[in-house]
Structure 1
Amino acid sequence: MQIRELIISSFRSLISNKRRSILTMIGIIIGIASVITILALGDGARLAMLKNLQADSGGQQSTQITFSPNNSDVKISGFNNEDLARIRSNPKVAKVTVQSDDHGILSSEGTINGKSLSSLVYLATSANDNKILAGRGIKDSDISIDRPVALVNKSIAKKGYRTIRNALNSGIEINGTTYTIIGVIDNNATRGEFYNYDVVVPRHVFETSNATVNANTLKLTFISGTDISKTTNDIKDQLNQMGSQHSSGSYDFYDTAAMLKGVTMVIKGITYFIVAVASISLFIAGIGVMNMMYIAVSERTQEIGIRMAVGASQKQILWQFLIEAVMLTLSGGMIGYLAGLGIAMGISAFLPFKASVSISTFLLAFGTSTIVGLVFGILPAKTASNKNLIDILR
């Protein structure tokens, strides 16, 4: 009997007992669906964490180097144009931006229309109407009477109020102080060549709020495929050796990549543990498959005898029942795989990240289903192939 004939015969046998086949498949479906759901959500959470902590809004990886002066009472800008030009010449660095109090640009947290944001704030000490797209700039009169007004870039305006027009005369909160947005500026507004900013507010108004800010921080954005930990460490070492202020303080880099590796290992460990627990249902489903196959062998003793009488070998009988078991578990596995994907996608619609599906999850479902069929179908198949034709005819 050819393989094709064995497969057709096995399929017909399963179809002839639809109800029993479907009930047996349910255990496989539940087991595979549970495993795929957990893996998809676990991988989705891990990838979302890596993306959020190690990449900017455009998906590029970035790191930060900070300068800490030896004398904390003295304000020193840790980076000059020569430092920045040297770093910018590195072929692996795509972009360099600096935030430094000496240039009036600081990193601050805030909210706009209930949405949180982290922005570079330019603290204006005089009138500013640079790169205005809509509204007006900050006037000297705004500075002199400490009016809490602000200019925001186009991206922030749209993030908070969807359109530039809606943002005008609306509010933005920066480090606990609410400012009225009087103008919208271009996204590429800079002071000098390297000092980008997103928001402009009067300096005195900002300082009276006693806000805590980060100064002297260098943000590096890298091209795709760069080993950001190694490259940033090399740049940090270079700054500590020949940076403009290497004798007045130290340059430091906190390696988030190393931290992320540890966190992802923990997430993977938890995911695999839950998968192992869910896999118990596959073992139980395998027992059900074995039980069904033993019943099928018992019910089809006469069929086995007829096949042997017309020349079927023990090997062919064994393969027929083994193929039936694998077809049963594989069908359940594929249905379980699709069900697991659907459940994972449905759950992720209510979560801040999307489920991640890879070819490895498909191979896992396919391979596990096949193995369950082989392992739990081999004994009933051997029982069928070892039957004696004379005993059957009696």
Structure 2
Amino acid sequence: MDFGESLKMAAKTLTANKLRSSLTMLGMIIGNASVIAMIGIGQGAQRLASEQFESLGPNVLFVSPGGNQARQRTNNIPRTLVWDDAKAISEQVPSAAGVSAQKNASFPVVYGSRNSTSLIVGATPEFLTVRSFDVEKGRFISEIDLKRNQRVVTLGADLANRFFGDKNPIGEEIRIRNVSFKIVGVLQAKGSFLGSNQDDAAYIPLTTMSSTLTGRSPYGLDLSFISISAKDEASIPAAEFQITNLLRRRHKIVTDDDFTVQTQKDILQIVGTITSGLTAMLAAIAAVSLLVGGIGIMNIMLVSVTERTSEIGLRKAIGASGNDILMQFMIEAVILSAAGGLIGTIVGVGGVVLVAAFTPLEAIVAPAAIILAVGVSGSIGLGFGVIPARQAAKLDPIVALRSA
């Protein structure tokens, strides 16, 4: 019997038992859909993280208080990074094009009967250029505001919209931690960064933040971090080296650093490693359903061999060889697994598209993931189909006919 005849018979047998065939394919459908969806969502998360880091500003480095070992040992980050460090970097690091000092805290913000607990950022004028923010209305923090400890505030787009809607907020006053601040500007929408909404924030002069809301550390006006924009991408390694040496001299460090210097690439690499690991783990968990689907195919094929004993005996009696019977059942197993794989692929791609439609994630369907999932499902069907196929091929025709 040629391959075409075996294929026709296999298709006819499977279509004669539509419900059984559909239920058998269900494991493969779920497995393929899960694997493709998990890989697509993971790659979308990596792409989103990359875009968000690029939105922080071009060629940006971040200096934060506390060395890596100190951060691992305790949650109490030392307050040793101060505004004087930022000034020194601006003056003494030739690779730095701009330096922005920043102190973050979360405080209640009140306007009339409306209130919100939002991020309060003590900033300097350089924040706009270093972090690539733009002003939509009014202005940002100025040098005069810093020198005079002015109680002025520039609102993020979402915070301004929540309090004022379509009304122009310039000149209005809000209360931050029960202290009045005059609104002088509104920033353009920037979007979220790793789950934190950058537009739900209020920006006040760094000096006002320290003197009015948070106080100082024993070392001076302490910072949450310093953002530095390098002159160009090629200058980033030099800037990182120069900043590290400068701060080690200023802090009189002879052992472990009490600060951490990271580039966008460093942080993105860490995030990429985490998301890649999570994607691989989720895909591996989803792939278990492929194994379950393969076991289901084997079980159904074994039942099919038992039910079709008389058919096998009759075909052998009229001249079908063991290889013909083997091919018949192998083709049926492969059709079940391949059909389940194709349907699962369609479902998985549809799932990725739906996730992209309702979340910030981009729809990414990797051809390699589709090929891998369909190939694995076909291989699993072939592998698990061997046992029942060989069992059918080994049946003695006389015994098979007698047992019918």
TM > 0.5 fold call: yes
User: Do structure 1's residue 29 and structure 2's residue 37 form an aligned pair?
Assistant: no
Task: Map 1:111-190; keep pairs closer than 5 Å.
Answer: 114=116, 121-122=123-124, 134=137, 148-151=151-154, 156-157=156-157, 160-161=160-161, 166-169=168-171, 179-183=181-185
- How far is 1:360 from its partner? 4.1
Range that drifts further, 248-257 or 284-293: 248-257
Report the CA distance shift for 1:358/1:109 in structure 2 as closer, same or farther (over 3 A): farther
In the alignment of these two chains, the number of paired residues is 349
Task: Map 1:227-246; keep pairs closer than 5 Å.
Answer: 232-239=236-243
2:124 touches 2:141 (CA, 8 Å); kept in 1?
A: no
* Residues 173-224 of structure 1, C-alpha deviations (whole Å, 9 max, x = no match): 778855332345899xxxxxxxxxx95659558633345652883423698x
Report the CA distance shift for 1:81/1:299 in structure 2 as closer, same or farther (over 3 A): same
Where does residue 367 of structure 2 map in the other structure? 359
- How far is 1:148 from its partner? 3.4
Range that drifts further, 364-373 or 24-33: 24-33
2:26 touches 2:340 (CA, 8 Å); kept in 1?
A: yes
- How far is 1:314 from its partner? 3.3
Amino acid at match of 2:295: I
- How far is 1:14 from its partner? 1.0
Provide the C-alpha distance between the structure 1 equivalents of 2:292 and 2:211, rounded to a whole number of angstroms.
67
1:98 touches 1:216 (CA, 8 Å); kept in 2?
A: no
SS at match of 1:12: helix
Report the CA distance shift for 1:122/1:288 in structure 2 as closer, same or farther (over 3 A): closer
* Residues 320-354 of structure 1, C-alpha deviations (whole Å, 9 max, x = no match): 21121011122223333444455566678887767
* Residues 116-161 of structure 1, C-alpha deviations (whole Å, 9 max, x = no match): 567573479xxxxxx997558999x999998733356xxx447743
- How far is 1:98 from its partner? 0.5
| TM-score normalised by the chain length of structure 2 | 0.61
Where does residue 89 of structure 2 map in the other structure? 79
SS at match of 2:223: coil
- How far is 1:110 from its partner? 6.3
Amino acid at match of 2:21: S
Range that drifts further, 288-297 or 345-354: 345-354
1:168 touches 1:183 (CA, 8 Å); kept in 2?
A: yes
Report the CA distance shift for 1:316/1:79 in structure 2 as closer, same or farther (over 3 A): same
Amino acid at match of 2:99: V
Task: Map 1:224-263; keep pairs closer than 5 Å.
Answer: 232-239=236-243, 248-249=250-251, 253-255=260-262
Report the CA distance shift for 1:221/1:6 in structure 2 as closer, same or farther (over 3 A): farther
Report the CA distance shift for 1:73/1:19 in structure 2 as closer, same or farther (over 3 A): closer
Provide the C-alpha distance between the structure 2 equivalents of 1:143 and 1:259, rounded to a whole number of angstroms.
31
Where does residue 286 of structure 1 map in the other structure? 294
Provide the C-alpha distance between the structure 1 equivalents of 2:283 and 2:139, rounded to a whole number of angstroms.
58
1:290 touches 1:377 (CA, 8 Å); kept in 2?
A: yes
Q: 2:377 aligns with which of 369, 388, 394?
A: 369
| TM-score normalised by the chain length of structure 1 | 0.62
User: Do structure 1's residue 217 and structure 2's residue 226 form an aligned pair?
Assistant: yes
Where does residue 318 of structure 1 map in the other structure? 326
Range that drifts further, 290-299 or 40-49: 40-49
> Where do 5+ consecutive residues of structure 2 fail to align?
67-79, 110-114, 127-133, 190-201, 217-221
SS at match of 1:367: helix
Where does residue 385 of structure 1 map in the other structure? 393
Amino acid at match of 1:179: F
- How far is 1:282 from its partner? 3.9
> Where do 5+ consecutive residues of structure 1 fail to align?
89-95, 101-105, 125-130, 188-197
Where does residue 208 of structure 1 map in the other structure? 212
SS at match of 1:254: strand
Provide the C-alpha distance between the structure 1 equivalents of 2:301 and 2:179, rounded to a whole number of angstroms.
73
SS at match of 1:214: coil
Provide the C-alpha distance between the structure 2 equivalents of 1:22 and 1:67, rounded to a whole number of angstroms.
59
SS at match of 2:228: strand
2:151 touches 2:204 (CA, 8 Å); kept in 1?
A: no
Provide the C-alpha distance between the structure 1 equivalents of 2:135 and 2:272, rounded to a whole number of angstroms.
44
1:33 touches 1:336 (CA, 8 Å); kept in 2?
A: yes
SS at match of 1:168: coil
Report the CA distance shift for 1:362/1:172 in structure 2 as closer, same or farther (over 3 A): farther
Provide the C-alpha distance between the structure 2 equivalents of 1:312 and 1:107, rounded to a whole number of angstroms.
82
Amino acid at match of 2:261: Y
1:62 touches 1:222 (CA, 8 Å); kept in 2?
A: no
Report the CA distance shift for 1:118/1:8 in structure 2 as closer, same or farther (over 3 A): farther
